[in-house]
Amino acid sequence: MKNKYYIILAIISVLCVNVALAFWSSSDSNNEIVYNKSITFHNKQFEQDVIVNGSAHLIGAKFADLTVNGSLKGKNLEGKELTVNGAAKIIKISADNATFNGKVFVSEGQVNSDLKANGFISAEKLKVGGEIEITGSAKIKDSELNEVFLNSKKRNKAVFSNTTIKNITIMDKTKLTLTNKSVIQGRVYFELAEGKVYLSKDSKIMGKVENGEIIQLKD
């Protein structure tokens, strides 16, 4: 009898551990699902808001609100709100708002409202309908941007190539360079101190450069 008793206890213990592990690795409610592990999904449509405490590799994913507390590799993503607290590499994305707290690379991105990049951003074929705020260096080409804010405590570099921008406000000592037929449709405004815009011969600024000067780049 004792042996049977111990066997039953062992089985119950194993079942309890498995249930606990399953709950720990992912939990969900009516409004959100939380993954406490790294995830990989292909052609996944999330019905709830998603929080990933780990890395995420997503291809063809659709979401409402996605937060990744770790690195993100994505392709063909579509959603409303995206937040990545870690490095990100994304090819083709459409979102209403996006926030990147870490190094990010984006190719073929459409952000309907605002984008925030707290770190280095490299982007190509990026369209942002609202504001884009960059706290760090930037290398952006072949893009269409609305209101751009460069804000960093360090002496960073922002290089725009073949890119159209409505206005740029520089709230630090970022070195701004416009090349390869880039166009500023409005003004360039240096908020804290006199700044310099390094401008290629085939690029142009339609409005004023306020509190700064233009330095013409040589061929």
What percent of the chain has pLDDT above 90?
A: 77
The string of pLDDT tens digits covering residues 121-156 is: 999 999 999 999 999 999 999 999 999 999 876 778
Domain boundaries, the chain: 32-113, 126-219
- What's the whole-model pTM score? 0.85
Whole-number pLDDT of residue 30:
66
Whole-number pLDDT of residue 69:
98
> What is the rounded average pLDDT of the residues 37-53?
96
What percent of the chain has pLDDT above 70?
A: 85
Side-chain-side CA neighbours of residue 207 (13 Å): 15
pLDDT level of residue 173 (50, 70, 90 thresholds) = confident
Q: Is the pLDDT of residue 179 over 80?
A: yes
